[in-house]
Amino acid sequence: MNILNNYTTVFIDRDGTIGGNGHYQSLNDFELFPYALSSIARLKAHGMSVFALSNQTHIEKGDMNYYDFFNSLIRMGFDDAFICPHSEQTNCNCRKPKKGLIEQAHRKYNFQNKQSIIIGDRFSSDIQLAQNCQMLGIHVATGKFEPQYFIDNQNHQKKNIITVQNLENAVNYVLSN
């Protein structure tokens, strides 16, 4: 393993983080940001495990097939994907910001939360999950606009939260720290 820093595991959200605009888009309509695949590859080249992490209500609604969605993420270079297929009304334990997807990952892989990162575009789900699991949360400004009412902006560093412009900047941060 060729890890340059203390981080071993990175979870990355799909919608608004690796592409799209933060809202649901079908597999055919979803467009990756130009730097998304190379960003995933750079993390893996440094010995990190890189997992997709996504809430996909449209699977439960029948608008998307779970396995087609999962396989699309694997084709992008992710080592594995942890997907909540439920709507908020289902009240499952896997919908971000609940810890269920991270618990699923722990059942399959050996990693420490304190050496893990969640990169995403939403404070209310991605960054809140990072907080709930005591992981570094890296917020990217490329997805759905969301007020920062969950996080006190002046205490980002103290609360283990970083805000960057996009996934490429997030990966640069990870690889330099």
Residue numbers in the known binding site are: 13, 15, 84, 86, 92, 94, 121
Active-site residue identified among 13, 29, 68, 80: 13
In whole angstroms, give the CA distance from residue 103 to residue 76.
23
Cβ atoms of 13 and 119 within 8 Å: the answer is yes
Identify whether the C-beta of residue 121 lies closer than 8 Å to the C-beta of residue 140.
yes
CB 136 within 8 A of CB 118: yes
Tell me the angle at which helices 167-176 and 36-45 cross, rounded to the nearest 10 degrees: 20
Annotated binding site for Zn(2+): 84, 86, 92, 94
Q: DSSP for 105-142?
A: HHHH----GGGEEEEES-IIIIIHHHHHTT-EEEEETT
| Residue 13: active-site member | yes
Question: Is 152 noted as a catalytic residue in this protein?
Answer: no
Q: What 8-state DSSP symbol labels residue 36?
A: H
**Binding-site annotation, residues for Mg(2+):** 13, 15, 121
Classify residue 150 by its DSSP letter. Answer: T
Strands, DSSP E only, in 78-169?
80-84, 116-120, 136-140, 161-164
**Which residues are marked as active site?**
13, 15
